[in-house]
Chains A and B, each alone.
Chain A
Amino acid sequence: MLYKILDKNHHKEFLSNLVANVKMVGPKKKDDSCHDFTSIKDVDEIDTAYQKTTIPPAKKILFPSTENLVRFRLGETIESEGLLESSETVLFGINAWDIAGMNFLDRFFSTDFADENYIAKRKALTVIGIDTEPTETNFAHYMDSEYVIEGFDLYFTDLGDRFFVRIATAKGNALLDRFAHIKDIEENDLKDFNKYMNVYRKKFKLEINMKNFLDNFENIYDKKGVWEELAEKCYSCGSCNLVCPTCFCFNVKDDINLDLKTGQKMREWDSCMIPEYGLVAGEHNFRPSKENRLKQRYRCKLITYKEKYGKNSCVGCGRCIEACLAKINIAEDINAIKKEVNV
């Protein structure tokens, strides 16, 4: 990693240059409670002092809610071809846990069968990270996601009068060279950065206990009563999936245009919490009950990728806690599972 300093009085100039020269997506205030990542045309639209965004910014760009995968033309013969769409974009202002979520999606979509639809968009994305204040539902600190060391091109940490800039890629470096007045770091910069991180980590107030979770989970897996209690309030609406930075389930559909000759194979987000998720032809449902589906979601977020990748797919952003209409709380449930097993 390369470290540099950007003085605060040069910061706006850097952003203005970026907005003028690149397609930028950044945080913009929507209302008093929420920000949204949208296309930025004017530097003053950017508001980095955000706490909440509903749809995770990287997922919004890289894995949109609907996406065309293949287009086809029907007729005497049928033509069908894979479709890749991408747009060079600078994603400015994404925070550490959302970068961690993107890193999960990067790994998932680029391994085994490589998903070129995702990869094309990812290659066209330049990522500039910043720190944001955690909400009261955030437990990223416990998911090792309050600080990231990969996935971004540049990462800005606000040290008061200056930004401590971590440069992870040549692409990020080139942006600074072209658009910013930067300087080399001195010893006290690194010290201040460490001090800052110590203070920053203390801002994550929500405590969860993930110790032995894998074994604890196996232990209570078949205790029907525990899951009935945890899922009792669930409406099976799937809000938790929509707002999750690492949820990636999708359906594949064929869609025919009004000319009845052309059409596309497309994907759209699906949700593991809705009753149809495990339904197969012949009406057999492999995930018939809401307690089974909640258990499955927790297994996917907290166990499956710990086993496969060595890291949970949950990054602790807390969005599902905020989005849940029934007030189901993954952090409380992690602690409840721990308590239930009592080890």
Chain B
Amino acid sequence: MVLNAEKKETKKTIYTPDLATITQVKELTPTEKQFTIELDDVHKRKEFSFEPGQFVELTVFGLGEAPFSIPSSPNNKENFELCVRKIGNVSNALHNMEPGAKVGIRGPYGKGYFPYEKMQGKNVVIVAGGIGMAPVRSLLKVILEDRSSYNDFTLIYGCIDPNNILYKQEIEELKKSNDIDIKLTVDNPDDQWDEHVGVCTNLIPDLDYSPEDTFIVVCGPPIMYKFVILELEDKSFKPENIFLSLERRMECGVGKCNHCHIGNKLVCVDGPVFSLWEIRNLKEAI
């Protein structure tokens, strides 16, 4: 019996990031950049698959780690994109990085994602506010890439002002197609603005879909949820068909650090996407 052994091993654990390279950087708005990221290990790149709504933990080595949802299409197997607002330590550092720079990636994480399989044959409405566009863009891509499997498709997207609109060019292109009905709204319009003004909540009463056949997806700043939900319930949309992506502080992404807990749920593991039915009676979720 050996009872004195000090042991040090190195091993890949749940906290060990995989090395990845930033291959492209694109400015989306004055405060947001899109980073295209490719895992360095070819096998891991092939294994890396995610569902819309999932997120990764990104490490800037020596500085720290932060969670980011993946806005690109899961059908793209070569790389994935992140949309990063310059707002914290890690995101500030990322904004200074250029193609070729190395980062660490853990994930994808989150058992709760946007259940696009269930939405097939139904109407889908996405309600996004501000940076909340990033997590839902993956779902938007999935639906557009298999458009005939879904019924009517609407995007309601609200921002503070026209300069903050993410994926502006893409949205302009989409508006020309018949694949999706896009309603944009801003709080502070400029002279050229010819769309809606005000919060995106205002556009919900005009939705003309049968609650039985419609899925709603909501993502935006914390304050938005309460009001959007009230409007959706007013229209009798069913709580089990409403999906929300929640934000919380996350340190680990794997259900251990506990920062993102809401009662018996962990946003990183059980979410980040929950149905309204799951969380409507979970105190403090919304």
**Which residues of A pack against B, CB within 8 Å?**
21-23, 69-72, 74, 77-78, 80-90, 108-109, 112-117, 120, 124, 126, 174-175, 178, 218, 221-222, 248-256, 263, 265, 267, 270, 272, 277-282, 284, 286, 292, 296, 299-300, 303-305, 307-308
* A-B contacts, 30 listed (Cβ < 8 Å): A21-B3, A80-B17, A80-B104, A81-B11, A82-B16, A88-B5, A88-B7, A109-B256, A113-B14, A113-B256, A114-B14, A116-B11, A116-B14, A120-B7, A120-B9, A175-B1, A221-B283, A249-B258, A250-B251, A254-B60, A263-B61, A267-B251, A270-B251, A272-B258, A277-B249, A281-B87, A286-B249, A292-B284, A304-B261, A305-B264
Is there contact, CB below 8 Å, between A280 and B248? yes
Q: Given A77, A178, A253, which contacts B64 in the complex, CB threshold below 8 Å?
A: A253
Q: Which residues of A contact B165 (CB under 8 A)?
A: none
Q: Are B15 and A252 in contact (CB under 8 A)?
A: yes
When distances are taken between beta carbons in the complex, the residues of chain A under 8 Å from B279 are none
With A82-B16, A300-B261 as contacts: A282 and B252 at CB distance below 8 Å: no
Interfacial chain B residues near A253, Cβ < 8 Å: 64
B121 proximal to A (CB < 8 A): no
Q: Is the CB of A252 within 8 A of B104?
A: no
Instruction: Return chain B residues, CB-CB under 8 Å to A77.
Output: 19, 102
Give Cα A218–Cα B87 distance, bound, in whole angstroms: 36
Tell me the complex Cα distance, A47–B203, Å. 71
Contact A70 B248 (CB under 8 A): no
- Tell me the minimal C-beta distance from A71 to chain B in angstroms: 8
State how many angstroms separate the Cβ of B19 from the closest Cβ of chain A: 6
Q: Which of B4, B15, B255 has the most CB of A within 10 A?
A: B15
Known: A112-B255, A113-B255, A270-B257. 18 other contacts (CB 8 A): A72-B104, A78-B102, A80-B61, A81-B11, A82-B10, A83-B10, A115-B256, A116-B13, A178-B1, A250-B258, A251-B251, A252-B65, A265-B17, A267-B251, A272-B258, A277-B259, A300-B261, A307-B263
CA distance A292 to B284 in the complex (A): 10
B window 229-286: CB within 8 A of A: 247-249, 251-252, 254-259, 261, 263-264, 269, 283-284
Bound CA span A43–B182, Å: 76
Q: Roughly how many angstroms separate A247 CA and B29 CA in the complex, as a whole number?
A: 42
Complex formed: what's the CA distance from A284 to B62 in Å? 25
A126 and B256 within 8 A (CB)? no
Chain A residue nearest to B3 (CB atoms) is A22
Task: Please determine whether A250 and B257 come into contact, CB atoms closer than 8 angstroms.
Answer: yes
Contact surface of B with A, Cβ cutoff 8 Å: 1-17, 19, 59-66, 85, 87-88, 91, 102, 104, 221-222, 247-249, 251-252, 254-259, 261, 263-264, 269, 283-284
Known: A88-B3, A178-B1. A69 touches B87 (CB 8 A): no
Contact of B8 among A23, A72, A83 (CB under 8 A): A83
> Smallest Cβ distance from A132 to chain B, in angstroms?
24
Chain A residues contacting B88 (CB-CB under 8 Å) are 281-282
User: Once the chains are docked, how many angstroms separate the CA of A77 from the CA of B8?
Assistant: 24
Return chain B residues, CB-CB under 8 Å to A87.
5-7
The one of A174, A248, A303, A308 that contacts B256, using a Cβ cutoff of 8 Å: A248
| Contact A303 B263, beta carbon cutoff 8 Å | yes
**A74 close to B11 (CB less than 8 A):** no
Other-chain contact of B14, A115, A263, A308 (Cβ < 8 Å)? A115
Closest residue of chain A to B256 (Cβ to Cβ) is: A115
**Which residue of A175, A254, A284 is within 8 Å of B63 (Cβ)?**
A254
Q: Choose one: A86, A120, A252; the contact of B252 (CB below 8 Å).
A: A252
Residue of B nearest to A272 (CB): B258
Chain B positions within 8 Å of A21 at CB level: 3
Taken together as a complex, chains A and B put the C-alpha atoms of A277 and B44 apart, in Å, by 34
Partner of A252, one of B3, B5, B9, B251: B251
Complex Cα spacing A164 to B222, Å: 57
A272: chain B residues at CB < 8 Å are: 258
CA distance A274 to B262 in the complex (A): 17
Question: Which chain B residue shows the least CB distance to A276?
Answer: B249
Question: Closest chain B residue to A21 by CB distance?
Answer: B3
